[in-house]
Structures are given as C-alpha cells and as structure tokens.
Chains A and B, each alone.
Chain A
Amino acid sequence: MEKVKIKICCGTSCFVMGAAQIQVLEFAPPADIADKIEIEEARCMNHCKNTTAKYNRGPFVLVNNELIEEANFEKVVNKVREILNQEN
C-alpha cells in the first residue's frame, strides 16, 4: 500500500505559526499510522502569499494533495486516518 505523503511547509511563517510543533509526527507518530506515512519538510510553498489572509491561515500542510489550513497535529492525524479509512 502506498504511504500517505505529509508535506509540512517549513517556510518561516508556517514554521513559527505551528509547523515546528507538527514535526512531532517525525518523532512520535500515533502507532496506528506510524508506518503508513511519509513526511517531507518543504520550503515555503507560497500558500501564505496567495491569499488575502496571508500567514493568518497558516501553518499549511499538504496531506497527499489535500491542503490543510491552520494545521495542527490533530488536524493532520485526522486527515491521514480519513484517507487510510477510505482506502480500506
């Protein structure tokens, strides 16, 4: 089965607004998804520049190709579980 790709934006604005904390997925992912995810730290994906709300919608995380705004650990994990459940 293909792994779920998590792309965490690590541009300065996303990093400061909380992406740094989402990196906990690299060290201590929930056991049920631990071997089913692939994490990538991305350079600024420019989402913060493409919206009128700017950085206020960050941090941005891409789970497969779905964009999560104001992402946090919980939202990312829920999205991963949703995708995995659909596949099953």
Chain B
Amino acid sequence: MLIPKNNANQMRTRILVKIVEKFLQGRFADADRIPLELRPKGGEVSRCCIYKDRAILKYRCMASMGFAPEDETDELTSLKEYGERALARQEHATNKLSVITDACSGCIRSRYMVTDACRGCFAKPCQVNCPKQAITIVNGRSTIDPDKCISCGRCQEVCPYHAVIRVPIPCEEACPVGAISKDESGKEHIDPEKCILCGKCLQSCPFGAVVEMSQIVDVLKLLADDDKKVVAMLAPAVLGQFPGTINNLIGALKKLGFADVVEVAVGADITTQKEAAEFIEKMEKGEKMMTTSCCPAYYKAADVHIPEIKPFVSHTRTPMYYTAELLKKEQPECTAVFIGPCLAKRFEAENDPNVDYVLTFEEIGAMLVASGINVTDCEPQEFAKISCAQGRRFPVSGGVAGAVVSLVGDKAEIKPTAINGLNKASIKLLKQYATKGSEFNMVEVMCCEGGCVAGPGCIALAKKSAIMVENYVKTAPDLKDKKD
C-alpha cells in the first residue's frame, strides 16, 4: 500500500516523542503541558475547538503511558500522576486496543445512501428490488430508512444513475474479524475476546480514535537504571525503518542504554529449520497441508475465529520465541525487549516468559528523537551472531514460505502459497482450504498486507523497507550451507 500514514497516525509519533521528552526532563513533572504544547493557543485546530483537541490528546497521552481511556475514574487525574503511576508499576499495562469515545465520530450506521444523482425516476428499480421495503420517495427522491435497511446492496446494483453509494465505517471495514462494533450510543467499541491486535482499525480510523497501550514508559525506566541490563531484539522488518545502516542502529540503541542488541532473524533461521522438518514429517504422515505460525495476529485469529484451520497450523514457535530462548540461556539476568512492527507481538509476549517487553519501531524512533540521537552518526557495530538469507526474508510476503521451501528441497513435495494480508475474504478462503482442500499444501499467512514491513508500528513506507530487506538478504549466507 502506498498511502502515507494519515495525520492522526503522525500525531501518535509526536505524542510519543513528547512522552519521552517529559520523562527525560523531569520524570513527567511537566507532563500536563503536552496537550498545550501540541495544540498551542492560536495554532491549528483539527476538531471542533482547541479544547476538544487537547482533551483528546490527554487520552492519547494516557494510552502512550499504558492506561486505557476507560480506566479513567477521575477526570481530574493529571498526566503527571499517570506518569508517576506508570513509573511505579511493576507489570506493564494489559495489551489491548481501545477506542477514545470522545474522539470516535460515531460514523453513520446506515451503509447505503441515496445521493443527489437520484432523478426520482418512474421505474424506481431501487424501491422495487429492495427486499425490506426500506426505500420511500421523499421530495421526489429515493430515501433509505436506516432502521429497515439490511445493507444488501441491491438498490446500488440496480440504480441506472449510480445514485446509491455505500458509505463504509473505516474501522469496521478494516477489522478482519468483526471485533469492533457500535455500542448503544453509536460509538465504536472493541471486544477484547475477539480482537487479534492486528492494529488495522488503528491505522484506518481518520479521527485517530483507536489507541493501544504502550510499554514505552516501562522500558524507559529500565534503560535509565544502571543496574538493569536491557537487551534489544530487533525484528527483521527493521531494515529501512531508520536512516543509516543496521550497524549504525546497533550503536544508536546502545546510546539509548541497551546493553546488547541481537537480531531476531537468527531465531527466524531456527523457525525455518524446525518448520521445514515439521512439514516433511506431516506430509509423510499423509496430512493435507500446513500453515505457518509466526504471525501472532493470524495465530490468534485461527484460535478464536477460524477453528477449521487450527489443526493445520504449524506447532513450530516463532522467531521471537527462539531468539529470546537463546538470549535468556546466555544472559539469564537480562531484560529482553522485542522491537518490531507488530502490536500482536505484545499478546504473544504475554505467553512467553523469555520476552519481557515489546516496543514498536515507532516507539524506539520517539526515544531516538527525544534523546537527540542521529542514527547515521552512531558508531557502526556488528551483531555477535550472523543471520542467514532465509531468516532475513521473513518480514516480506512470501518470505516465510520461501524459506521453508528452500530447506524442504526434494525431501517432500511442497506446493506453497501465501495469504498476503488477513481480511474477511482471505479468512473465508482459509476456511475453504481447511474444509474443502486446495491445490496447496504449504500456506503462509501474514496478517499485514505486504508482510511485517507493513505493520502498524513501522516508520518507513512498506515498499521502501521491503527493498532494504531484499538488499540485506543478498549479503547473507545461505541457511543450507550453515553447519552447527
């Protein structure tokens, strides 16, 4: 997708920068100035007035400190106080997405409407074809009664003037699993049981009403503590997310206070080996197919929403899992922070005792900006372990299946395909693969279209990052030549 991040998403970056700035300047003593600094008197206004802008910014700041808008019990609790609470807590906030009710515009419920192009014609095909008699003629023009309309779309199909349009609700349209819907008041609400933490609603809402609970304060606190050894685990989608080379970035992260930096692509190589072995074993047993398991949003979607596909999901663990396992074996006392493009990884980390925190590239970017670190100027450093081409290609669509194919070789007949992005249609397709079978026996599933390089926590354009990933792959050894 080439559409730049919308302004609401850009604002999230600015808020994160401010949060880090206020932490560094005085442990949030001044945090209540953030809404005023981002929306100064006489400046630009995005909503009805400056006061609403600031009120919503406060909720967005709360989320960046790890508090959900619905956790608010007293509206007078200051950001300073939330900051202090965040610094005092031992456990990070619950991983979830929330809607700021006052920021949600409550997009109109009726999905179909008749525009000015309606000629109030004699034939009235819309009215004739409506199965619910929802269309009446008012002032010489067709009108849809939203209480009767079932959004079947027949009126749109039959109108000779193309006068009927479908107005989608962006967040509901983007959610692959129907986890976001309206409550009685018409505002959107996310069901945590259904939500797969993919972040598509957050990326799509033009009002910036969806927020996620950040762990940035928890990690800032650890980085400032000299007694704590914090290790960064860099997801392979990191290529292109920052200026300079990946080696400059290691130097930059060390300047931020990370004791060590490891590459998750190393764990991806292990995933490749195990997944290839599992595939061969499954085919020998006569199973009809296997799907990948490294996308945590897909993993939860399969668990909660696609029971048909569950028996086919690989039991191999994710690159993050193996990387953290290796890390904790070597440095058991360290705190492991996964840094990636993904929000669903937060959910996966909850069930992985070796991963302590999950940050996004955007959050690390905010730390670099507020600390005045220019990545290009940082001393280039090397990783202790070298990753292979297979692991490095994991974050682009087709990368995981390609890696497994390369290791399976002629040991089994492999017919791969890639589900590039989870949406309502591809979920239907997966159900079909599970129940009716298909011509494929190896199905890669990535929730984000384009792969992890298009994740909601990215800074760079997916296309740009994908090019950098491919360049990085070219300089890597082949996993097939690797001897352990």
Contact = CB atoms under 8 A, between A and B. Distances in A.
Interface of A: 10-13, 15-18, 20-24, 27-28, 43-44, 55-56, 72-73
B464 A13 contact: no
A44 B14 contact: no
Interface in B240-259: 241-244, 252
B281 to A, nearest CB: 42
A18 B366 CA distance: 11
A63 B457 CA distance: 29
Given A10-B243, A11-B243, A22 B4 contact: yes
B132 to A, nearest CB: 41
Interface residues of B, number: 31
B13 A27 contact: no
B17 A55 contact: yes
- Which of B3, B243, B461, B464 has the most C-beta atoms of chain A within 10 angstroms of its own C-beta? B243
B2 interface: yes
Contacts of B17: 16-17, 55-56
Given A12-B242, A21-B10, A56-B17, 19 more contacts: A12-B365, A12-B373, A12-B374, A12-B376, A15-B243, A15-B365, A16-B365, A16-B369, A17-B10, A17-B17, A20-B459, A20-B461, A21-B4, A22-B4, A27-B461, A28-B2, A43-B243, A43-B376, A44-B374
Contacts of B365: 12, 15-16
B221 interface: no
Q: In terms of DSSP, what is the predominant structure of the interface of chain B?
A: helix
A43 to B, nearest CB: 6
Nearest to B10: A18
Contact of A21 (B14, B368, B374, B461): B461
B461 A24 contact: yes
Interface string B454-466: 0000011101100
Would you list the 4 A-B pairs with minimal beta carbon distance, nearest first?
A16-B365, A21-B4, A28-B2, A13-B369
B459 A11 contact: no
B464 A23 contact: yes
B7 interface: yes
A52 B17 CA distance: 16
Contacts of A55: 17, 369-370
Nearest to A58: B369
Contacts of B463: 27
Interface string B354-374: 000000001001101110111
Interface in B429-484: 459-461, 463-464
B5 interface: yes
Contacts of A43: 243, 376
